[in-house]
């Protein structure tokens, strides 16, 4: 049985716009527009079918604030940048990560920087912060280019070995994963990871899909219960642990301690007890590096190359810029980045349409007012870069790929009309690292090759914690 919507948007009130006056007399939470739902499960079935489609359609029909019911839990979806600013900055202390999604991530991936809270998170953040200082990040540029250039040489070897002049075909996502995993390995862990890339990527993707499944279903068995599904998950986690614990064990036995993030984490001491991190804590942080340090950038690069393959004019402008800046076919350097403006714009526009993290959630600790509505304590607050990045009030022709939107980095648009790296105190610590990496990798690869889709099969997003592709995209490597 389906319940009707509890409130229809009032065109005269223009529910899609922020109204500061309503904060003086906020409307009750129950007055928030709500789509039809199942009497028993609420909106769980719609979220399970397609979370992003549900959010997109709800915003278009009901406005920037929509109420959802997820079993016995109330949800409040906000799409307006002003409301996002309230949740992520103005009153961020009232919105914490005690949600089903983060609980599942903690259970499966551990209590690292992405999932931890409170004083523990603050301590870990302070320890990790020096590794992401701009000067230190700048020192990684050469390594990033060298890793990408190694892939160029491998692509050239494949091309030379191809029969009959046929352009070789590679899996786009797999290639980007291999590159970004090695960059994270060399720069933050001082170790080569490409030999593990296939296993790490497949296992991490499986775990991320399990996190998403646990968010969408009403109830799941604890991992300690030996169901067939749990046994598969535990095997995937054990496989990831084997790689991570091997890295930690080799570092414990090593004589030299390179100045990387892992060394900083290993040498850190608690101010009160003087104790260092246990191997279990180190495991959680390295697992977080895997997720946040390579998976998201690989996702961004995958969508960027795909969008270029679908928009030849944008690709031609990219090649013209690379030919001009990288005269003589040389490799890019850190000093080239200010002149690689179109390269940056292409990446930013790709992340607008396909943000690596498409949605997130918080839980309100105390009663609050968001966008003129009373929001009770314990409410599940949903935010979505994917939806806000396609908001017609802030983006002209929002479904169109147009890198020109980002010509001016200081363009006048609300702060949270675009937030692929989130924002506030919990903004991605690796934002500068990721943007520099994406620019340098794209410039290195695109200066030597064009990537062309080798299949007419439609490319569909795969929504887990990140926004990947359902099936890898076969790409022909065409030398320039």
pLDDT score recorded for residue 122: 85
Q: Structural domain boundaries of the chain?
A: 16-479
For residue range 378-394, list pLDDT tens digits in order: 999 999 999 999 999 99
pLDDT score recorded for residue 12: 38
Phi and psi dihedrals of 478, rounded to 5? -110, 115
Res. 109: pLDDT tops 50: yes
For residue range 147-161, list pLDDT tens digits in order: 999 999 999 999 988
Side-chain-side CA neighbours of 50 within 13 Å: the count stands at: 8
Res. 40: pLDDT tops 90: no
pLDDT over 90 percentage in the chain = 54
Res. 305: pLDDT tops 60: yes
Supply the mean pLDDT for the chain: 88
User: Rounded distance, CA 123 to CA 94, Å?
Assistant: 20
Domain 16-479 listed as CATH 1.10.540.10: no
List Cβ<8 Å contacts ≥24 apart for 201-205: 201/174, 201/177, 203/236, 203/237, 203/239, 203/240, 204/240, 204/290, 204/291, 204/295, 205/464, 205/468
Do residues 137 and 433 make contact, with C-beta atoms less than 8 angstroms apart? Answer: yes
Res. 8: pLDDT tops 70: no
Which range has the worst mean pLDDT, 17-31, 370-384, 456-470? 17-31
pLDDT band, very low/low/confident/very high, at 6 (cuts 50, 70, 90): low
pLDDT score recorded for residue 93: 93
For residue range 411-424, list pLDDT tens digits in order: 889 999 999 999 88
Res. 9: pLDDT tops 60: no
For residue range 247-285, list pLDDT tens digits in order: 888 888 876 678 787 887 888 777 777 777 788 888 888
Res. 89: pLDDT tops 90: yes
pLDDT score recorded for residue 333: 96
For residue range 319-369, list pLDDT tens digits in order: 999 999 999 899 999 999 999 999 999 999 999 999 999 999 999 999 999
pLDDT score recorded for residue 20: 46
For residue range 442-459, list pLDDT tens digits in order: 999 999 999 999 999 999
In this structure, how many other beta carbons lie within 10 angstroms of the beta carbon of residue 473? 23
Most distant pair of Cα atoms in the chain: their distance: 73
- Give the closest residue to 65 by CA, choosing from 35, 88, 24, 37: 35
Which range, 1-5, 163-167, 355-359, has the best average confidence (pLDDT)? 355-359
pLDDT score recorded for residue 230: 86
Res. 29: pLDDT tops 50: yes
For 83-108, what is the mean pLDDT? 87
pLDDT band, very low/low/confident/very high, at 22 (cuts 50, 70, 90): very low
pLDDT score recorded for residue 21: 42
Res. 58: pLDDT tops 50: yes
User: Rounded distance, CA 372 to CA 139, Å?
Assistant: 47
Residue in this structure with the two tokens 């414990």, named with its chain if needed: 252
In the chain, what is the straight-line distance between the N-terminal and C-terminal CA atoms, in Å? Answer: 59
For 79-104, what is the mean pLDDT? 90
Do residues 315 and 123 make contact, with C-beta atoms less than 8 angstroms apart? Answer: no
For 194-198, what is the mean pLDDT? 71
Phi and psi dihedrals of 387, rounded to 5? -75, -50
User: Rounded distance, CA 102 to CA 381, Å?
Assistant: 13
pLDDT over 70 percentage in the chain = 93
In this structure, how many other beta carbons lie within 10 angstroms of the beta carbon of residue 232? 12
Res. 131: pLDDT tops 80: no
């Amino acid at each position: 049985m389906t319940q009707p919507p509890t409130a229809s948007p009032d065109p005269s009130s223009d529910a899609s716009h922020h109204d500061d006056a309503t904060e003086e007399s906020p409307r009750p939470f129950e007055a928030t527009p709500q789509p039809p739902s199942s009497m028993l499960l609420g909106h769980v079935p719609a979220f399970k079918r397609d979370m992003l489609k549900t959010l997109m359609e709800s915003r278009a029909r009901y406005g920037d604030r929509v109420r959802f019911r997820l079993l016995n839990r109330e949800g409040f979806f906000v799409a307006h940048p002003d409301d996002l600013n309230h949740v992520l900055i103005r009153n961020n202390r009232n919105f914490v990560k005690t949600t089903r999604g983060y609980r599942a991530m903690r259970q499966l991936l551990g209590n690292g920087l992405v999932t931890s809270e409170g004083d523990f998170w603050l301590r870990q953040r302070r320890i990790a912060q020096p590794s992401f200082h701009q000067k230190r990040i700048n020192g990684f540029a050469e390594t990033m280019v060298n890793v990408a250039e190694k892939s160029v040489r491998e692509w050239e070897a494949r091309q030379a070995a191809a029969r009959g002049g046929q352009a070789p075909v590679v899996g786009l996502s797999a290639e980007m994963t291999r590159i970004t995993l090695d960059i994270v390995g060399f720069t933050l862990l001082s170790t080569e990871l490409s030999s593990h890339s296939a296993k790490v990527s497949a296992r991490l993707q499986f775990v991320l899909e399990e996190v998403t499944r646990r968010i969408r279903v009403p109830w799941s068995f604890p991992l300690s219960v030996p169901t067939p599904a749990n046994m598969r998950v535990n095997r995937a986690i054990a496989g990831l642990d084997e790689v991570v614990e091997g890295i930690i064990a080799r570092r414990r036995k090593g004589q030299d301690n390179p100045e990387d993030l892992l060394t900083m984490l290993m040498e850190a001491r608690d101010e009160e007890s003087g104790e260092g991190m246990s191997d279990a804590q180190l495991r959680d942080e390295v697992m977080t590096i895997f997720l946040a340090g390579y998976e998201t950038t690989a996702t961004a690069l995958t969508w960027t190359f795909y969008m270029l393959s679908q928009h030849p004019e944008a690709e031609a402008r990219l090649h013209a810029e690379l030919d001009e800046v990288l005269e003589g076919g040389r490799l890019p350097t850190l000093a080239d980045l200010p002149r690689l403006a179109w390269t940056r714009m292409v990446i930013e526009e790709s992340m607008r349409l396909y943000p690596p993290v498409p949605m997130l959630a918080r839980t309100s600790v105390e009663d609050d007012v968001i966008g003129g509505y009373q929001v009770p304590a314990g409410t599940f607050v949903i935010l979505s870069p994917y939806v806000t990045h396609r908001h017609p009030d802030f983006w002209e022709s929002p479904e169109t790929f147009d890198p020109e939107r980002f010509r001016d980095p200081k363009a006048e648009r609300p702060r949270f009309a675009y937030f692929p790296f989130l924002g506030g105190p919990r903004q991605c610590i690796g934002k500068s690292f990721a943007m520099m990496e994406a620019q340098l990798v794209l410039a290195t690869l695109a200066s030597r090759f064009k990537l062309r889709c080798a299949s007419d099969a439609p490319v569909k997003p795969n929504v887990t914690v990140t926004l990947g592709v359902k099936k890898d995209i076969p790409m022909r490597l065409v030398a320039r």
